[in-house]
Chains A and B, each alone.
Chain A
């Protein structure tokens, strides 16, 4: 079988092709139009007779960050039309009083109310479609109160809008995120509507280019870590917001599984940011909600925790004399001082070079200028820079493991991205992790994860009722449960002994349980999953290394500190403390 994954990043677009048990990879510069980059990467990797083609895209994320979505209107229950502007009433910063939240995706002029009301137990006031004003918009988000329980009014409003505005992209909240808490649901729906036309246009163009190039219709990676058809992906853009990072986590999970680890932490350290995610039972942990560009998005997504620091982060000394790293980054241009491309301020990469943890010449031929790096550091101790950035990474790694009741000693750390393998062993030491896995393909692991990702469709049914009254539940999937009276749920795998597993998880997560307290079922989550093809890593000769040592990889360098030993076996380095 021939399978292909293409991942579009900010600087590079990566392709990974598995053909008859062999892996080929390619890296090209990302072009202005993402579809050009995708096709260029496909050509570079020399793909032919491809049977499955999976794509990870940042089109939706970029459109949100750059505010380049559709002109969107919002319709809510009358009396709640300002929902997107009222938010949850907290200010953006405790002590910077006028710091602004990101401007809502819909202006207040384009927010409208419709007369109707549904309560927890049903319709309180019938829908009056005549109260729906005439709108002029490219996209419309509809979010009525309690539509997660009774979607009739919301559906009728969406149908009416589709009739009145045949060209507009109309999204009803119950289709996207049928869960309670109206602001978070409205925010998700607004993002979905706002991004929809843009993502759909891109995917249609990519589909046509792919067909012309003799490729199958692309599958698209979604935030959940599963892939979906192009048509499904185009229908709901908010599901694609984590398309990029999800590929890397899926790749890391597969690499860990090949090495015999079902539980691991994915550690992807790039130029400007670092993504960390717990892998549990062979799969990425999922969260039910996250904030993207300041907007809550209530959808299952790989539970990636992002730190705003990477190899390009700038080191500086603050007013109190403390060394800080980031959030400012030298980016790809001008890049670290040692790249000699005009960067003058010291970065983490410069510190690593001064410490002898990078070769003088990178695999792509770039000569690194150690004198420029030392000059930029201007007296700042390079080891201190690495220690400060590691402290931030450590906080993120602890957050996804220890703070969730997981013992790091049972986990492997899977390090990838340009800088991940440089910092992984030091972090493992601090965290108490005994095994670090570094794939040879560390520089293109996201594309590899795309190539082998499972197909997945998620479903959620909102319940919010006592567990004792829930009746029959599906045999597989997850139940969101809480003690009656709490506000936050824990997801517990469905199956026998559900109550007991909830108590145990609550105890592990929060330090206590209360077996006498009734449980409330908030939602039932199920997924249809079709497993993806097997992962293939490059066949490579067995090799060993003893720290201190540098190991050069495809698109990254790995630093083995003193006391660590590495064995390359089956396409990955397994690093352990001697």
Chain B
């Protein structure tokens, strides 16, 4: 008897096969982890189960009965609840009001009765909340409890949690795990989407591993190890390092020393990060998203001020410098968010000139001929499919990225910082941008590549640093790296990372 059974689920987004013939089953009273890298298809599969997406083919059975789930409303009626990474609570209403929102069958709310019901549910499931508190006064962890309680209040028997620990501090994680144990005792099932191996080994009964939209097997926790899971998840036996002619890297051009910063919620996003990148090498920063990569690239671009630590470019201290100073020090940044790198309502020509406006200005007046010439030159050189007068927003992602790349690299920077440079781009543009980064390396620039795409990191980096929860877990030369090791490091495995790290952290 299965609580949920998903059979041959296939889902396409355009050319991308997000879910390929996936089979998945969930038993009553089990905590089931859905493990995989970014873009493996975990969230897509669960969104299909919750009625947010519709599968192209395949069947879903709930309690052995064929179910047609065309909206979350259907899912809720079948006893399925989902807590997404972005909460759906109304901040100005109380916990009780949020819980009954959309599910109270009556026109008049009986506040007393509702509060009593919630208090009872909160007691039974061991999820402490104050029904009268306003949502906006609650912490992220408390809000998550309200979300879970909301699903339970609607009689969910199956609870889907999409990366629930991503937003929590460690103490809140422990509390969450206790609640999950409680739910299991009550006979509920939980699907737990994650990419953190230690969490999987702590609370889950069974683990299903997804990779590139395919199901790579379901295993009992007792019958597996973190190393085996890491291999399944990353899925590469060895890395064909074919591109690299060994070259001797030069002096250190980018030096990061004990960098710390807090994220928007005031939690530490980077904890004492130190590394350096030398002339003529690419250092890849690998890691699952949200482990401090954005903050790191923002600091290096001058868009975010670190709370402590330094960063030096060619021995010049640029900590806390404005973007203009960083550009002047011959650092070229390719930001993670393309839309905050270019002004989408301005033309290609204007955006190209914007970064180095002084070069195109005579006594305050723009030299429009020179601007246009430069744009035409870069368009030809970087094979950008656009005309100089096109507004940036009309360009495809790949062409937009090429404009940014062209603008940055045409200044021959000493240090190149590329954050997620190929995210969302097609294969052609991706290959092109990688080859340009290699060109910079061969020219003698120090390249820092921050990417969530492990293939990308492996194919062009000379050394790989793994970042996890704001710390560099270790730095390994690409040639000696292997899947199990990187997978473990990226998942923040507490079991092995010390020995992995201790052997390699001195680069």
Decide whether A and B assemble into one complex. Answer: no
Point out residues on A near B: beta carbons under 8 Å. none
Point out residues on B near A: beta carbons under 8 Å. none
